[in-house]
Amino acid sequence: MANRPIILISNDDGYQADGIAKLAAIARQLGDVVIVAPVRQQSGKSSAITGGVPLKLTKVSEEEGMTVYSCDGTPADCVKLAFYTLFKEQKPNLLLSGINHGSNASVNAVYSGTIGAAMEGCINHVSSIAFSSTQMDKVLDIDTAVPYIQSIIESSLNEPLPLGTMLNVNFPYGEIKEARYCREADARWSEEYVPLADDPHSYTLAGYFEDREPNSQDTDQWALSHQTVSIVPIKVDRTDYEFLRKNNKPLKLG
């Protein structure tokens, strides 16, 4: 069908991950899928981009309704390169990123390569949605989430997202009660490192997630801990407009 929407899919776990295969399987029911995803694991890459070193785009497979490319860069590189090469004349109708193996709710979104890929679509004015499961296993069980993922993709195909805003969708493992729009919880990672036994000046990242407002009911963390899909609209523009309203004069020197 000539008029099927084109859906570009990327992720940060690599083009061979289970999560991206499952997302592509859902998306193929709604449009023609083009995957451009990292060759290898790119978790925690945020919106990092690669300068100076050439990036290679490789066609991995092609079948009716789905073409798969790999790219040896970051998630944001994959999307940038896809736009420049495959979608130079006509943008895709939708960009999806994920399904990430692990939550990207709250402050995790800052570090997430899954979000980095979707943010790149958003910057280029393509409706973009990141999907993440709280489950971290190699094989994801997304049965209960499928109807929600379908519904969110369908509504974004029918009505594009506002320019400069993308969706950060996270879903819990197992029973799901509903899906809710919500805000990012205020959180951080603490006690983050473990020193190496044989080299006390070397440290490996570890730590635990600290929700600073576990009792706020309007956050993504609250939703996830109550078996609810969290849909957080996030913006490219991080300007603190409230701060600007309070500081609307030129800075005085001295």
Applying the rule CB under 8 A, the residues between 11 and 70 that interact with a second copy are 43-58
226 interacts with a second copy by CB under 8 A: no
Minimum distance, C-beta of residue 2 to a second copy, in the bound complex (Å): 26
Cβ proximity of 104 and 97 under 8 Å: no
Q: Which residue is it, tokens 């004015």?
A: 125
Binding residues among 169-198 for a second copy as defined by CB under 8 A: 178-184, 186, 188-189, 191-193, 196
Minimum distance, C-beta of residue 57 to a second copy, in the bound complex (Å): 5
Give the H or E element holding residue 188. Answer: strand 187-190
Binding residues among 71-130 for a second copy as defined by CB under 8 A: 74, 76-77, 80-81, 83-85, 107, 109-111, 116, 119, 123-124
C-alpha closest to that of 7 among 67, 81, 85, 71: 67
227 interacts with a second copy by CB under 8 A: no
Q: How far apart are CA 124 and CA 91, in angstroms?
A: 9
139 interacts with a second copy by CB under 8 A: no
Minimum distance, C-beta of residue 230 to a second copy, in the bound complex (Å): 11
Cβ proximity of 42 and 75 under 8 Å: yes
DSSP helix/strand/coil, 184: coil
137 interacts with a second copy by CB under 8 A: no
